[in-house]
């Protein structure tokens, strides 16, 4: 006979309540994991009283997390975000030998969602134009992987083509100190991203409401695409990037199905063989004038 769902949840609640260490701010990962374990046990056949107990415990743990998130936000506003946020994200990261072979979200994304003061817009991409792809934020571990593998630094200008709510430009600006530009056609997403950057006093991040086919790409040194569009739109943007690369070296980073298309561009050379479901990094060949 399978175990009673209510009894299993009660046992998990008791286990978490006995662990006093979960009240310490530095136990951020452990609290997130405890909340995930509770959430996974909230089945329809769980007794209401036990469900309420579990929900109250999750709110209590989240309150402790919010204290940590507020401290990280304050550090970002004071110009110390690079060290503080990277410390937390590295502490929560999976071991170095763990393959980044999927696009699921994890504890890193929970932290990022808590730190970035988003007021997500109610209207999304319900009526997308042809060849535009429904928005999904890049998982945080892939953003960190991108920053490391392109060796992003203060001398760079990262342009995120199809930036959505701005996770990539915001995190790259905080963790690498690079100037970052998000290009996004959805006005509600742009407004939300701008408010977030303003709340964190991130002056090196700009969000532009524009079609990527018409955007100013002349200052970019690194261009990122999480498959924001397909077909002729992607072709048009890649042709524009090729023209930029004819005047200077650029790097192009991709995630998702567009990687296969970008890998076929003769003017780009991969940093390493592209892997499915991992950020791929390409360098442009030297321009003729170089």
Is residue 130 situated within a structural domain?
A: no
157 and 182 in contact (C-beta within 8 Å)? no
123 band by pLDDT with thresholds 50, 70 and 90: low
Say if 232 falls within a structural domain: yes
Q: Find where tokens 């260490």 sit.
A: 21
pLDDT of 287 over the 80 cut: no
pLDDT value, residue 214: 95
Pairing of strands 268-270, 280-284: antiparallel
Q: Are residues 164 and 232 in the same domain?
A: yes
* Domain-terminating residue out of 93, 124, 159: 93
The answer for 18, left when phi > 0, alpha when psi is -120 to 50, beta otherwise, is alpha
How far apart CA 92 and CA 110 sit, in angstroms, is 10
Mean pLDDT of 43-49: 89
Distances (CA, A) of 90 to 35, 48, 87, 183: 20, 38, 5, 28
Clarify whether residues 145 and 85 are in a common domain.
no
What pTM does this model have? Answer: 0.89
152: confidence class by pLDDT, cuts 50, 70, 90: very high
1: confidence class by pLDDT, cuts 50, 70, 90: very low
Domain-embedded: residue 247: yes
Q: Is residue 30 domain-resident?
A: yes
| Same domain (yes/no): 207, 280 | yes
User: Domain residues for 194?
Assistant: 140-284
- Tens of pLDDT, residues 126-146: 577 788 888 889 999 999 999
- Cα-Cα-Cα-Cα torsion 265, 104, 112, 185, nearest 10 degrees, comes to 50
State the total domains in the chain: 2
Instruction: Fill in the DSSP letter of residue 20.
Output: G
Same structural domain, 72 and 174: no
Same domain, 146 and 248: yes
Q: Does residue 181 form part of some domain?
A: yes
* CATH number (domain holding residue 272): 3.40.50.150
Does residue 159 share a domain with residue 37?
no
């Amino acid at each position: 006979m399978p175990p009673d769902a209510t009894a299993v949840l009660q046992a998990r609640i008791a286990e978490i309540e006995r662990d006093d260490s979960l009240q310490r701010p530095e136990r951020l990962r452990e609290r997130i994991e405890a909340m995930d374990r509770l959430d996974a046990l909230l089945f329809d056949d769980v007794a209401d009283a036990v469900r309420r107990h579990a929900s109250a415990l999750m709110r209590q743990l989240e309150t402790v997390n919010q204290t940590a998130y507020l401290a990280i936000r304050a550090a970002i506003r004071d110009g110390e975000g690079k060290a503080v946020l990277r410390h937390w994200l590295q502490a929560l990261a999976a071991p170095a030998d763990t393959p980044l072979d999927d696009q699921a979200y994890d504890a890193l994304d929970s932290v990022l969602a808590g730190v970035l003061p988003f007021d997500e817009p109610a209207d999304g991409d319900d009526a997308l134009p042809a060849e535009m792809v429904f928005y999904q934020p890049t998982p945080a571990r892939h953003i960190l992987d991108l920053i490391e593998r392109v060796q992003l630094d203060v001398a760079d200008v990262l342009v995120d083509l199809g930036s959505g709510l701005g996770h990539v430009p915001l995190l790259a600006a905080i963790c690498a100190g690079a100037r970052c530009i998000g290009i996004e056609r959805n006005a509600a997403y742009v407004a939300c991203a701008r408010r977030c950057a303003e709340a964190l006093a991130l002056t090196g991040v700009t969000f532009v409401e524009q079609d990527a086919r018409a955007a100013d790409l002349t200052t970019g040194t690194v261009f990122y695409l999480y498959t924001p569009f397909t077909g002729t739109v992607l072709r048009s943007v890649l042709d524009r990037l090729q023209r930029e690369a004819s005047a200077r070296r650029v790097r192009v980073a991709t995630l998702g199905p567009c990687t296969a298309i970008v890998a076929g561009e003769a003017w780009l050379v991969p940093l390493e063989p592209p892997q499915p479901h991992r950020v791929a990094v390409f360098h442009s060949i030297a321009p003729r004038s170089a």
